[in-house]
Structure 1
Amino acid sequence: MNGDDRNPLARGRVATRLPAQDLDRARRFYSEQLGLQPAEEAPGGLLYRCGGAEFQVFRSEGNSPGTFTQMSWEVDDIEAVVAELKRRGVVFEEFDLPSVYGGARTHDGVVQVENYLSTRAPGARGARGAWFRDSEGNMLGIGQPLDLS
């Protein structure tokens, strides 16, 4: 569980915020490559809603390091999602994972991760994953929980 229910953070909603130096470029990427439209817009940001959660892309002077997963989606069929996003022009990362995650290598952008806690499938200890960068350099991921028990 999340601990003390009197803790205001334990009762709060989590929402991701992703920086963008060029908000118009980011809007085009999220629309054309990911097929997402903002649910709300303001001069300094775009709010998106997906699967009961939300994330905001906000205007920022700083650069995203893009060296770690900043946000991810859990899906039922990672191969279908990766294929559709590739068709839309998304480029997936190819790399070796650290040994703590099984030391596997991506193949066609997808890898099986042995040591992963799923947020959607409690008790699952593995996932298939893929990563890509948005137009602003933010590292985004896609995961499909697996039950490896």
Structure 2
Amino acid sequence: MLKDSNIIAVLPAKDINRAKEFYRDKLGIEPSDSMEEGSVMYRCGQGTGFLIYQTENAGTAKNTQMGWETDNLEREMEELRGRGVVFEEYDFPGLKTENGVATADWGKAAWFLDSEGNIINISQRA
């Protein structure tokens, strides 16, 4: 059943137009369609996607809400930094970043905030 179905992330946005500009201008992703007033759908690789919907609850989660897997983390970070994306620095038990990158046995990862305060991740498996 569900194990064979495509999965999508759902992200909140206080300002849907500001979020659309961020994903277009900073990440280079265009919406694929609108679900209804105040929401927009994005499609990514291999049937994956994410929905952004307008709500006052945006930016309140303190955890990673969505992430992309890449085969070249440094290249992706360089391109995103060139578009103005700022990567987070963390230093707490189990997670320490250097120049925005955390390294572990499984691979490496980096995090940034979108325009709505959602924590987004990019990772590369070892």
Q: Which runs of 5+ in 2 are unaligned?
A: none
Q: How far does the alpha carbon of each residue in 1:55-74 deviate from its partner, in whole angstroms, 9 at most, with x for none?
A: 00111121332411100000
How many angstroms does 1:97 deviate by? 4.8
Aligned to 1:108: 99
Q: Which has the larger radius of gyration?
A: 1
| More strand by percentage | 2
Alpha-carbon distance in 2 for matches of 1:38, 1:69: 22
The residue identity in structure 2 corresponding to 1:109 is G
Match among 137, 140, 145 for residue 117 of structure 2: 137
**RMSD of equivalent CA atoms:** 1.4
* Matched-pair identity in %: 40
3-state SS of 2:91 partner? coil
Aligned residues: 124
Alpha-carbon distance in 1 for matches of 2:123, 2:4: 25
List structure 1 segments (4+ residues) > 6 angstroms apart after TM superposition. none
How many angstroms does 1:24 deviate by? 0.4
Alpha-carbon distance in 1 for matches of 2:120, 2:20: 15
Considering Cα pairs closer than 8 Å and 6+ residues apart, tell me whether 1 or 2 has the greater RCO. Answer: 2
Match among 3, 9, 12 for residue 16 of structure 1: 9
Q: How far does the alpha carbon of each residue in 1:26-54 deviate from its partner, in whole angstroms, 9 at most, with x for none?
A: 00000000000000024221100111201
Asked if 1:65 corresponds to 2:45, the answer is no
> What is the TM-score when the length of structure 2 is the normalising length?
0.91
